[in-house]
Structures are given as structure tokens and as C-alpha cells.
Amino acid sequence: MRALAVIAIASVALAGAPIAASAQDEVEAPHQNWSFAGIFGTFDRGSLQRGFQIYNEVCSNCHSMKLLHYRDLGPNGPGGGIGFSDAEVAAIAAQKQVEDGPNDQGEMFRRPGKPQDTFVSPFPNVEAARAANGGAAPPDLSVIVKARGRGLEYLWGEGGPDYVYGILTGFEDKPPTGFQLTQGKYYNNIFPGHQISMPPPLADNTVKFQDGTKATLSQEAHDAATFLTWAAEPNMEDRKQTGAKAILFLLAMTGVLYGAKRRVWKDLH
Ligand code: HEC
């Protein structure tokens, strides 16, 4: 009996709900075509830069990304950055105010950001973040794409990236009839339990893209999710290339070894 229960639990776990969801809450996020999906998938630099613009102008008002440095966006960043030059990175960092110190007087002071600084957090601590957001602290977004996916799915563009896209586009003005929405919460089709403390952050034309791309809600959500996937796995492209090379090598080696085996054993045939 106990073994059966374990098998039942294991199979439910393998069938898999996103980490935060209970089985009956689960709603599949709509599947998107991601440039980085598949063995030869690569990050679309334009999409990454637009996604960063969205994070920088919108999401960073509430969400930290503590694992990133401004220099990561530049040519020497992991995976070659997101296509910004060193000068562009310096300009982005310089727009931020960073706390530094203490100075000779023992006081902390603020100064413009530098490329080596970590992304500035919107709140000094999690209590402040919670207090400003109706009791729910906005999670750090550095690795949210991995945290909300299953296993290595994100390598194929499913799971985490689809989930983030789904959250950003899944808000409804009104909950379905009969649904009791707690005050201060918002109805979201994808979020487990459907009540989220994040007000809809994006709509058509929330940002004006510097490269002239039309800023529809769907485009913004797509680009934001692309940027967050890069943030969580900036070396994805290298990793896939290494994997493809390893497989080619193994195939070639199989041929060589098969040939050698036939030679060595030819007298016995
Ligand atoms: C006004 C503040 C605010 C803004 C702006 C904001 N968020 Fe949030 N976000 C929150 C809060 C609060 C939560 C926690 C929600 C909860 O647990 O109910 C959250 C949760 C999330 C989650 C996690 C859902 C989960 O599974 O836990 C994601 C992903 C997310 N936000 C992405 C974004 C992105 C991308 C942007 C920018 C386009 C953004 N947010 C802008 C406040 C904000």
C-alpha cells in the first residue's frame, strides 16, 4: 500500500505542476515561439535589449535582480552580453544612484552607478518590499525563469519563459462570476490560485521601444521573458554549441571504433 502511495505521489510529481501550483490550479501558459528554443536556438539580441529596456523602465520599480551587474550587459558579459557596447553600459549604470561608503566621516553616501555595480534594488530589504506591495514581496527576477520551470525545459523555451509570458499577459479586468477576489489582489489566469498581488505591469505602449518595434502587450511580454531567460542562463548558446559538438564527436568516434573492432577481430569472422 505504502509503495503504491509513493508511486502515485512520484507520478504526480513527474507529470509536474509548476513549483508554486497545486495540481487543480494548474493552467498551462500559452506556448510561444522562442528564438532560443531548440539545439541551435540563439538569443535574439534585439529582443534582449528591448526586454532589458522593459525591466529597466517598468519591472525594476518593484523587482530586484541581484545576481546581475551592469557590465554583464556589455561585450565582456556572460555569453557575450546582450549587445550593448562598453560606453552604453557605462551610460546605463550612470543613470542609477548607488549607496557606497563609509567616507572619511563614517557616513554612507550615494554616487552614480558604475559598470561593476550589481543592479540596484528598488527596496532596501524584504520587509520594505512587502510593506509597499500589499503584503507580498516581489521576488528577485535573476533566476525566476528557472525557478518557475520544470528541470531543463527552459532550454527548449518551454516552462519558465512561457510561464513569465503567461503571467504578464494573463490578467483579466474582472474575475469570472462567483470568484471571490481578495481586495488589493488582481485576477490572473496563469498565476497559481489566480490571485496575484502584482498590478498588471504591462499594456500596449507601456514603453516606447528605442529600436522602433511596435510595443504591443504581447511583444513587450515576449521581450521581457526573453531577457529574463538570458539573465537566468546567459551561457545557453555556448552550452548548446558544446553539446552539438560533443554529439558529433561521439558519432565520429563510434565509426572509428567500429572500424577498429572489425579489423582487430577480422580473423575470427
Ligand atoms: C508595482 C510593483 C510591480 C511591478 C512594476 C512589477 N511587479 Fe512583478 N510582482 C510584484 C509583486 C508584488 C509580486 C508578488 C505577487 C504575489 O506573490 O502575489 C510579483 C510577482 C511577479 C512574478 C512571479 C510570479 C510567481 O510565480 O511568483 C513575476 C514573474 C513577475 N512579477 C514579473 C514581473 C515583470 C516581468 C515585471 C515588469 C514587466 C513586473 N513583474 C513588474 C510587483 C510588481
Q: What is the pLDDT of residue 29?
A: 84
In 3D space, the residue among 49, 90, 81 whose CA is nearest the CA of residue 211 turns out to be 49
Note the pLDDT tens digit of each residue in 217-234: 999 999 999 999 999 999
- Please state the rounded mean pLDDT for residues 96-123: 96
Q: What is the pLDDT of residue 154?
A: 64
- Please state the rounded mean pLDDT for residues 244-262: 96
Q: What is the pLDDT of residue 207?
A: 97
| Res. 70: pLDDT tops 80 | yes
CA distance 64 to 131: 15
Q: Which of 25, 48, 63 to mutate to test the pocket of ligand 1 (most atoms within 8 A of CB)?
A: 63
Q: What is the pLDDT of residue 25?
A: 56
Specify the residue with its C-alpha closest to ligand 1, atom 38: 59
Chain position carrying cell 502587450: 217
Distance 2 CA to ligand 1 centre (A): 40
Specify the residue with its C-alpha closest to ligand 1, atom 27: 139
Distance 114 CA to ligand 1 centre (A): 26
Q: What is the pLDDT of residue 61?
A: 97
Specify the residue with its C-alpha closest to ligand 1, atom 25: 191
Q: Which of 47, 50, 58, 62 to mutate to test the pocket of ligand 1 (most atoms within 8 A of CB)?
A: 62
Specify the residue with its C-alpha closest to ligand 1, atom 39: 59
The answer to whether the beta carbons of residues 82 and 52 sit under 8 Å apart is: yes
Q: What is the pLDDT of residue 20?
A: 45
Residues with CB under 6 A from ligand 1: 20, 54, 58-59, 61-63, 133, 136, 138-139, 144, 148, 164, 167-168, 196-199, 201-202, 224
Note the pLDDT tens digit of each residue in 2-31: 555 545 444 444 444 444 444 445 677 889
| Percent of the chain with pLDDT strictly greater than 90 | 77
In 3D space, the residue among 159, 128, 171, 172 whose CA is nearest the CA of residue 228 turns out to be 159
CA distance 84 to 77: 10
| Res. 243: pLDDT tops 80 | yes
Distance 265 CA to ligand 1 centre (A): 65
| Res. 257: pLDDT tops 80 | yes
Note the pLDDT tens digit of each residue in 111-160: 999 999 999 999 999 999 999 998 999 999 999 998 887 767 766 656 89
In 3D space, the residue among 64, 71, 180 whose CA is nearest the CA of residue 124 turns out to be 64
Atom of ligand 1 nearest to the CA of 192: 26
Per the prediction, the chain carries an average pLDDT of 89
